[in-house]
Amino acid sequence: MAVDMVVIGCGVAGLSAAVSAAEGGAKVAVLERAPMAERGGNSRYTEAWMRMKTEDEVADDLVDLFIERGHGAIGPEMLKEVSNDYENWPQNVKAFPFNDPEIVMALADNAPETMQMLRRHGVQFTFHSPMLLQKGPERMGPSGGGLAIVEALVAAAEKLGVEFHYETTGRSLLLNDAGDVRGLRCWSKAKGNFALEAKAVVVASGGYQGNLEMMTRYVGNNAHLTRPVSPGGVYNKGEGIEMMLALGAAPAGQFDMFHGEPVDPRSPRHEALIAVVNYGVLVNVHGKRFMDEGSNRYELIYDEVSWTIMRQKLGIAHLIFDSRLFDIPNIRTRIKTDQEPIRATSVAEMAKKIGVPERALIETIRSYNAATVDGDYDTTRLDDLSTEGLALPKSNWARPIDETDLYAYPIMCANTFTCGGVKITKDAEVVNRDGAPIPGLYAAGETVGLYYNLYVGATSVLRGLVFGRQAGRHVCSTLGLSAPDSQSAAA
C-alpha cells in the first residue's frame, strides 16, 4: 500500500494536515490508535479556546509571550545571529531548542487562514471571557469545543478521499538508502505488523502523558502520581517523538515540563478543575501548607500549583476554605468537578475527614488565621492582602477561615499535555541536529517543542491547527500539487 502522505494521529493537528494535503490533490492516509468512537485524542475533549481577538487576528500578546517564554539558557551571540535572515543563520542556531522568530511569526501569520479553513468546513466560532475573575482578553473557540473541529475535519477528509485506519499505530519510520523518509512501519489490531509506503510522514501523535516510562524519564520524581486530564491523553504514548529523535531530529521544548491543572481526583469527568486554589489554603497529607497560594492570579500559577502538588507525598493536597468563597461572583464557573466539597464544623472534624493529622491541621489553620490582617479583599485584582509573620506567606487574598464553617476539595495534578518534542521549520518540516530539514518528515501538535518555563495559554490547539495545515500544504508543494484553499469548498 502506498500513499503520498501518511499522518499519525487524528487530533486537530493531524486532521488539519490531512485535509490541507487532500485539498491540494494528495493521496492521504491517517492512522489513529483509538477506536473510531474515541478518535481525536486530547482534541476531542478540549474546549479549544484560542488566543485570538477575532478570526482574522491573533491576540496582541501572543508573539511577545512566545518569544519571552520560548527558551531556556541562551547565549547573547545566538540572539545576535537570529537578527539576520533565516537563510543566513548558522546550522547550530537553526537546530537550537528555542522559539525562533520564524516559528512564532509563522504561527501568528497563518492563524487567520487556518481559521478560514475551519469555517469553510462548517466550524462556527464563539467568544468567551476566560474562566477568570479578573478582567482579561477574550478568547475565540469553536462552538462545540474541540470535538466540533474533529468531526468537521473528519467529514471533510472523508469527502476528499482520505483513508482512516483506526486502532492502528505508527511504530517506526521507513527510510530509503539516502536516509529520506519513505513511509512507516505500523501495527494494527486487525493486521498486526505492516508497512505503509509514503512520500511524506506527518507525526501528529501527541505527547507522552500516557507513557509512564517516558513521564518518569523526563519529568522525574512522582510522575506516576499525575494522570492525563482527559481520556484522549491515555492514547498518547510518545512513539512519534521517539521515532523522530531516533532518526536524528533536533529536540525542542522543555522535556521535563508538562501543562498541569489542579483537578478533583474523585471525579470521573475530564478536566474536573478546582480553579480556586488561590482563595483558600492548600495542605498536604501532613496537614501542612507547602506553597504561597496567593502569589499571583490563577492563570499564572496553576501549572506551578499542579506540579508542586504532584511532588507532595502521595501527590495529593486539600484546599481548605469557608463558605464565603461561594459568595465571590462567578466563582462556580471555576469549579468543574461533579463532586461535592467535604464539609466540617471544626478543624478536628475536617482533619479526620481528609485523613491528615489533627494537631498539625489545627496548628496550620490557627497560625494562618492569626497572621491575617484587616484590609480590602478583592478578587478582581492582586489585592496585596497578605499574611504577616508566617515563614510561608500568602501574598494576596489572605483572609481568615471560619473554623466552624469549613469546606475542602481534594486536588491532584492532571497532565494536559507534555512539552518535549522536536524542532520544526515554519513549514512544519522536522529539523535534524545539524539544522537541516529531514526530507519527507513533518511534525505538528504536541510532538512539536514550543513551550518552555510556562505554557502560553490558549495556544495548544492553535499551534496544532496551524502547523498541521503548514505541513499538508508543504507536502503538496514538494510533490508539485497545489490547489488553492478557496477551491476546497467545492471538493
| Span 331-343, average pLDDT | 96
So what's the pLDDT on residue 480?
96
| Span 401-419, average pLDDT | 98
Give the 3-state secondary structure of the chain.
CEEEEEEECCCHHHHHHHHHHHHCCCCEEEEECCCHHHCCHHHHCCCCCECEEECCEECCCHHHHHHHCCECCCCHHHHHHCCCCHHHCCHHHHCCCECCHHHHHHHHHHHHHHHHHHHHCCCCEEEECCCCCCCCCCEEEECCHHHHHHHHHHHHHHHCCCEEEECEEEEEEEECCCCCEEEEEEEECCCEEEEEEEEEEEECCCCCCCCHHHHHHHHCCCHHHCEECCHHHHHCCCHHHHHHHHCCECEECCCCCEEEEEECCCCCCCCCEECCHHHCEEECCCCCECCCCCCCCHHHHHHHHHHHHHHCHHHCEEEEEEHHHHHCCCHHHHECCCCCCEEECCHHHHHHHHCCCHHHHHHHHHHHHHHCCCCCCCCCCCCCCCCCCCCCCCCCCCCCCCCCCEEEEEEEEEEEEECCEECECCCCEEEECCCCEEEEEEECHHHECCCCCCCCCCCHHHHHHHHHHHHHHHHHHHCCCCCCHHHHHHC
So what's the pLDDT on residue 124?
97
pLDDT at 185 over 80: yes
**Do the two domains 2-257+419-490 and 261-414 of this chain adopt the same fold?**
no
pLDDT at 228 over 70: yes
Render pLDDT for 110-167 as a digit per residue (tens, 0 to 9).
999 999 999 999 999 998 765 555 555 678 999 999 999 999 999 999 999 999 999 9
- Position 62 confidence tier, pLDDT thresholds 50, 70, 90: very high
pLDDT at 490 over 50: no
What proportion of the chain, given as a percentage, has pLDDT over 70?
96
Render pLDDT for 83-109 as a digit per residue (tens, 0 to 9).
889 999 999 999 999 999 999 999 999
Render pLDDT for 357-397 as a digit per residue (tens, 0 to 9).
999 999 999 999 999 999 999 999 999 999 999 999 999 99
- Position 76 confidence tier, pLDDT thresholds 50, 70, 90: confident
Question: What CATH number belongs to 2-257+419-490?
Answer: 3.50.50.60
Considering the four listed CATH numbers 3.40.50.12170, 3.90.700.10, 3.40.50.2020, 3.40.50.2300, the one that applies to the domain covering 261-414 is: 3.90.700.10
Provide the residue ranges of all domains of the chain, joining segments of one domain with +: 2-257+419-490, 261-414
So what's the pLDDT on residue 236?
98
| Span 210-234, average pLDDT | 97
Dihedral of alpha carbons 13, 19, 22, 27, sign? positive
pLDDT at 485 over 70: no
The pLDDT mean for the chain works out to: 95
pLDDT at 329 over 70: yes
pTM above 0.85, yes or no: yes
pLDDT at 487 over 70: no
- Position 275 confidence tier, pLDDT thresholds 50, 70, 90: very high
pLDDT at 257 over 50: yes
